[in-house]
């Protein structure tokens, strides 16, 4: 069972990817994690990726796919995996598709966690983070016991730049331009499934379970 998670930043696709991985006993494959692991372990692919990153350049799609394929070729992925954070663009999806086809396989499900932009801006601007211990809170869904103070270490909670409404709006604009077309791409392949991401996380997961049964 090979699954691609789709959805705007803040839609909750990462949370659902982890739950799918646990429930179905398949790895949660995040491209960010793979890059970090390859760089930390000094692999040939990691060194190649680091050269681009050190220059402030994006890692080319072809190299990203090679690193990804290296990861999904490992023993723990033989029964499938959940891809989180890749592909982000049509060219990435096309490269991934052609490489998987060479292995006689392909994506079984592309699950889109659908949340309107206004909901995402509201969600993310309500996040608060402790820069000291890394704990995260939400003004509506997971408030700290004392407003503005971390429960764990007593430090001040802040709204990160990434979560400010104007930043979130820019990230959503990029998403709609680059990543939204993937919905049509996977729909045309007959593997797209959509779930309502505005409901409680448990209900989102129940809908995903129904799809994957």
Give the three-class secondary structure for 155. coil
Model pTM score: 0.83
Instruction: Evaluate if residue 83 carries a pLDDT over 90.
Output: yes
Q: For residues 57 and 47, what is the distance between their CA atoms, to the nearest angstrom?
A: 14
Instruction: Evaluate if residue 144 carries a pLDDT over 90.
Output: yes
Q: Is 171 a residue of the active site? A: yes
Strand partners, 2: 81
Q: For residues 18 and 63, what is the distance between their CA atoms, to the nearest angstrom?
A: 25
pLDDT for res 1: 92
pLDDT for res 106: 92
pLDDT in tens, 1-39: 999 999 998 899 988 999 999 999 999 998 888 888 899
The one catalytic residue among 36, 160, 169, 170: 160
Q: Is 160 a residue of the active site? A: yes
Give me the domains of the chain, ranges plus CATH numbers.
2-115+177-212 (3.40.50.300)
The one catalytic residue among 2, 71, 127, 128: 127
Give the three-class secondary structure for 60. coil
The one catalytic residue among 13, 71, 123, 128: 13
Q: For residues 24 and 136, what is the distance between their CA atoms, to the nearest angstrom?
A: 27
Contacts of 156 (CB under 8 A, 6+ apart): 130, 148, 149, 150
pLDDT for res 10: 87
Q: Check if the beta carbon of residue 63 is closer than 8 Å to that of residue 70.
A: no
pLDDT for res 141: 84
The one catalytic residue among 18, 50, 66, 88: 88
């Amino acid at each position: 069972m090979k699954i691609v998670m789709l959805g705007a930043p803040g839609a909750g696709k990462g949370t659902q990817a982890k739950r799918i991985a646990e429930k179905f006993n398949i790895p949660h494959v995040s491209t960010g994690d793979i890059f970090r692991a390859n760089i930390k372990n000094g692999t040939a692919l990691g060194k190649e990726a680091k050269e681009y990153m050190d220059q402030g350049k994006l890692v080319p799609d072809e190299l990203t796919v090679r690193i990804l394929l290296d990861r999904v070729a490992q023993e723990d992925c033989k029964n499938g995996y959940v891809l989180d954070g890749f592909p982000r663009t049509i060219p990435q999806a096309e490269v991934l598709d052609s490489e998987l086809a060479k292995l006689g396989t392909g994506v079984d499900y592309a699950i889109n966690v659908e949340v309107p932009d206004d909901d995402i801006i509201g969600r993310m601007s309500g996040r608060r983070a402790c820069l000291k211990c890394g704990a995260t809170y939400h003004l509506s869904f997971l408030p700290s016991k004392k407003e503005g103070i971390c429960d764990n270490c007593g430090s001040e909670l802040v709204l990160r730049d990434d979560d400010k409404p104007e930043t979130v709006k820019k990230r959503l604009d990029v998403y709609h331009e680059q990543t939204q077309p993937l919905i049509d791409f996977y729909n045309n392949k007959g593997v797209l499934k959509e779930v309502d991401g505005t409901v409680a996380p448990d209900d989102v997961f129940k809908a995903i379970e129904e799809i994957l049964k």
